[in-house]
Amino acid sequence: MSDFNSLDLLPSIKEALANKGYEKPTPIQAQAIPHLLKGKDLLGIAQTGTGKTAAFSLPILNRLGKNPVRVDKRRVRCLILTPTRELASQIADNIKAYGKGLNLTSSVVFGGVGKQPQVRAMAQGRDILVATPGRLLDLMSEGHIKYDQLEVFVLDEADRMLDMGFINDVKKVIAKLPKDKQTLLFSATMPKDIANLANSLLKHPERVEVTPESTTVEKIQQKAHLVAKLKKPDLLIEILKDETIESMLVFTRTKHGADRVVKKLAQVDIQAAAIHGNKSQNQRERALGNFRDQKIRVLVATDIAARGIDIPQVSHVINYNPPEDPKSYVHRIGRTGRAGREGIAILFCDETEVGLFRDIQKHIKLKIDIDEDQPFHEKLGLHPDAGKRNAKPKKKVSMSKKARRRRSFRG
């Protein structure tokens, strides 16, 4: 599909896109919009930056605009649930721009601001409502929002909802929605809880998936450190003894894990900060700002909190735990090697993580060198051919004969 003309969208929507300067659909738009125009449910694996907002907004505007109805008081025809107020505002702004020539009403509700203007807006009913879960539930419990006119439901950034601890609120909202509706779920990754939610929520969905902007993996030197779980803090501290490392991003599996790493580093006077779903927006921004300004050397993050971080000077990415979803590995290491610089990505793998390490190598179709010279090296019974099946010839760093001999263990 070369441009938006081949899509069956209302002329005023096409005009709005032309005004925005969009010439052709992004891959997620090209894949998703035709299904959505047919009224299908959709599972979209995509993250912010891929054009996913337009991918769901355009067909929704088309559907509602083609069939205008009077929206009753406190009713909505389309609900878009998204985790943060920044995203909610962004989506609402986009919807206003794309739907400029249509006679549709839209509103946005999120916490941290006065409730009354939102209550007043909802009193008149709205074609489209963009909301974060907490404030929405609040308004629902007070009877300000009803769903008997609901036609479309979008759950945006589902994995981030999970990470931020909103998933129960999301489920409470879903429980109040009518069964008969078009449902769209977007998530950048597919943790088990989200896959289960998608299964229960979507009816015969179409699945579309796009990979984010190509990462500069070629420029990143990747290696793995096999290490006992208890020795990981010592290993990290050992690596940080190299004072030429100015900016390191560390990924942990859990929020508590991230906090623990920060504490361990503080014990040896290494300044670090954590960003994750339990931190307030202010705390996250401060941590990110300090890291960007190089006031702290180390930023520790969970996957989703770190999404979109673009800090050119990050020289090292440490996967303190391998990600559960191998695709996240590529997103994570893509935080280094930016703006034409070289980057180093080190994967820590303990005795419980060997399977995840193998999955990653299979996914990237590349064997990651194991550094056996680091002081905390453990064999862990990892078969040296892990991930070799389907593997292309190795691209980087050929090993010395001595190192190869050392690695020829079996187990």
Can you read off the two tokens belonging to residue 326? 């191998």
Indicate whether 51 belongs to the interface with ligand AMP (CB under 6 A). yes
Q: Which stretch binds ligand AMP (CB under 6 A): 48-56, 177-185, 373-381, 396-404?
A: 48-56
Angstrom distance (rounded) from CA 59 to CA 56: 6
Sign (positive or negative) of CA dihedral 249, 252, 255, 259: negative
Contact present, 407 and 377 (Cβ < 8 Å): no
DSSP annotation of 24: S
Instruction: Choose the stretch contacting ligand AMP; rule: CB under 6 A; options: 50-58, 65-73, 116-124, 238-246.
Output: 50-58
303 phi/psi in degrees, rounded to 5: -45, -55
- Select the residue interacting with ligand AMP from 10, 12, 14, 26 (CB under 6 A): 26
Closest contact distance (angstroms) between CB of 110 and ligand AMP is 17
84 part of the interface to ligand AMP, by CB under 6 A? no
Kindly tell me which residue out of 49, 101, 212, 233 binds ligand AMP, with binding defined by CB under 6 A. Answer: 49
Q: Quick check: 211 binds ligand AMP (CB under 6 A)?
A: no
CB of 87 to ligand AMP, least distance (A): 8
Q: What is the CA radius of gyration of the chain?
A: 24
In the bound state with ligand AMP, the residue whose beta carbon lies nearer, of 26 and 221, is 26
- Per-residue exposure over 334-343, b if at least 16 CB sit within 10 Å of its own CB, e if not: bbbbbeeeeb
| Total of chain residues touching ligand AMP, rule CB under 6 A | 11
Angle at 358 between CA 352 and CA 361, to 5 degrees: 140
The H or E element spanning position 109 is strand 106-109
State the distance between the two ends of the chain, measured CA to CA, in whole angstroms: 51
DSSP string, 258-292: HHHHHHHHHHTT--EEEESTTS-HHHHHHHHHHHH
Question: In the bound complex, what is the minimum distance in angstroms from residue 49's beta carbon to ligand AMP?
Answer: 5
Can you tell me which of 48, 84, 211, 374 binds ligand AMP, judged by CB under 6 A?
A: 48
Task: Kindly state whether residue 187 participates in binding ligand AMP, applying the rule CB under 6 A.
Answer: no
Stretch near ligand AMP under the rule CB under 6 A, chosen from 18-26, 103-111, 248-256, 343-351: 18-26
Q: How far is the CB of 189 from ligand AMP (least distance, A)?
A: 16
Q: Which stretch binds ligand AMP (CB under 6 A): 19-27, 71-79, 120-128, 144-152?
A: 19-27
Whether the Cβ atoms of residue 140 and residue 173 lie closer than 8 Å to each other: yes
Region of 49-57, 154-162, 196-204, 206-214 interacting with ligand AMP (CB under 6 A): 49-57
- With CB under 6 A as the contact rule, the residue among 50, 106, 132, 361 that binds ligand AMP is 50
Among 40, 52, 160, 367, binds ligand AMP (CB under 6 A): 52
Among 33, 42, 43, 54, binds ligand AMP (CB under 6 A): 54
- Quick check: 47 and 20 in contact, CB under 8 A? no
Q: Is 130 in the site for ligand AMP (CB under 6 A)?
A: no
Please, which residues have CB within 8 angstroms of residue 223's CB and are 6 or more apart in sequence?
344, 345, 346, 347, 368, 369, 370, 371
The residues of the shown chain that bind ligand AMP, judged by CB under 6 A, are 22, 25-26, 29, 48-54
